[in-house]
Amino acid sequence: MFSQLRALPLAVKQYLIITMNYWFFTLSDGALRMLVVLYFHQLGYQPLAIASLFLFYEAFGVVTNLVGGWLGARLGLNKTMNVGLFLQVAALLMLTVDNQYLTVIWVMAAQALSGIAKDLNKMSAKSSIKTLVPSDQQGALFKWVALLTGSKNTLKGVGFFLGGLLLHLFGFQQAMLVMAIVLMIIAVLSVFLLNADMGKAKSKAKFSEIFSKSADLNYLSAARLCLFAARDVWFVVALPVYLSVELNWSHSYVGAFMASWVIAYGVVQAFAPKITRANITSMSQGRLLFLWALALSVVTALIAFVLSQGLSPALVITIGLLLFGITFAINSSLHSFVIVAMAKEDGVSMDVGFYYMANALGRLVGTILSGWVYQQYNITACLIVAAFLALSSAFFIRKINY
């Protein structure tokens, strides 16, 4: 087996290392999120208060993607990826302190580190693929991006389940310690295995270039913001609290249910090239994105409508979440391909970083709305807002000439 790995082309070996880093980081990220939501709900925190714990996580992600793209172009994507891994270890260790020190401010600070870590890791992984695939092989690029994105989200789902399980087996602090030790091993391996020049721009990237001057990229970024706000406005805080409070599901059951959804969502993302049957060399990706964004808006509005009719909430949520997951996964996979394909060759992380800044801003908006709208109204209202945001995503995509 090891001889076969050594015989692989350098680009494939680097892709495997990047994927390994991304996978282990994602497991820790998904588990951390579920642990924080369930543990602090268990302590009696209200939905809006739980949402506030993630504010720095999302807010710092916005800044990180902008600055991280510039750093990746100047220093190399291997360095930004490795920094992300070590910062996540530090964030996990911060949460191993005794309960009396787990204040809202302390947890928000740890989440800020985790948010920086996550977006450095994500931006580095997505940008690296552009440097490994020849520019004339767009079909291969779509497949590699879809596989990385899909597998990441599948493992994030496993992370949700892992978070619920670790909370049940070890408690909050011990779970954080176990994850920190495993991730530290991965980080050390990454330092020695990743190519030092990956993604470094030939000409020194200027800090003033972090903001995109491309109209198409700006519209695509606005569409991404709305897309992820549409998901998180009902999925991040509202859904787990709704399942726990309104449907009386146990923490492990909530974790397993949401994990199963994200795993299935990741599988759909990985197979998006086959599902869409897109001819990426001749078909307008903007038109394809528009149609799928429109479909997502319709599906979300239907879930809200059916849920308001008094049918079994558990059945409506289960079936509705399945349909939402399929349409959202294809939207997300197509988005991830289009930004990597659209990004300029030299200093790819600058364009990708700007785009994922919008992604982080969308998550921030969605997280705040998830806690506030659910606390003020209900989950149906969250779904209505989600449908409007998905429709807004379609509106921005319509303006893209790609």
pLDDT tens-digit series, residues 302-341: 999 998 888 888 899 889 988 998 999 889 888 877 777 7
Across the chain, mean pLDDT equals 79
Q: Count CB neighbours of 246 within 10 A.
A: 13
CA gap 341, 355 in Å, rounded: 12
What's the one-letter identity of residue 303?
A: I
CA gap 84, 286 in Å, rounded: 32
Domain residue spans of the chain: 7-197+209-397
Q: Count CB neighbours of 96 within 10 A.
A: 18
Residue pointed to by tokens 């199963």: 260
Q: Count CB neighbours of 368 within 10 A.
A: 22
pLDDT digit string, tens, across residues 60-91: 877 777 776 667 666 777 788 888 899 999 99
Q: Which of 338, 333, 349 is nearest to 400 (CA)?
A: 338
pLDDT digit string, tens, across residues 334-350: 887 777 777 665 555 56
Residue pointed to by tokens 């510039």: 70
Query: Which numeric CATH code is attached to 7-197+209-397?
Result: 1.20.1250.20
Q: Which two tokens stand for residue 152?
A: 């990441």
pTM passes above 0.85? no
pLDDT digit string, tens, across residues 349-392: 567 777 778 888 898 889 889 888 988 888 999 999 999 999 99
Confidence band of 116 (pLDDT split at 50, 70, 90): confident
375 Cβ contact list (under 8 Å, min separation 6): 46, 47, 48
| pLDDT for the residue 400 | 80
Provide the 8-state DSSP code for 212.
-
CB 206 within 8 A of CB 69: no
pLDDT digit string, tens, across residues 31-59: 888 888 878 877 777 777 777 777 788 77
Confidence band of 146 (pLDDT split at 50, 70, 90): low
CB 179 within 8 A of CB 26: no
Q: Which of 213, 48, 29 is nearest to 122 (CA)?
A: 29
Confidence band of 293 (pLDDT split at 50, 70, 90): very high
CA gap 357, 165 in Å, rounded: 32
Q: What are phi and psi of 323, to 5 degrees?
A: -65, -40
pLDDT tops 70 at residue 278: no
Is the torsion defined by CA of 119, 134, 268, 390 positive or negative? positive
| pLDDT for the residue 119 | 79
| pLDDT for the residue 281 | 46
CB 284 within 8 A of CB 326: no
Highest average pLDDT, of 118-122, 196-200, 374-378, comes from 374-378
Name the CA radius of gyration of the chain, rounded: 20
DSSP-H helix ranges across 272-343:
272-276, 285-307, 313-342
Q: Which of 164, 219, 195 is nearest to 14 (CA)?
A: 195
pLDDT tops 50 at residue 249: yes
| pLDDT for the residue 390 | 95
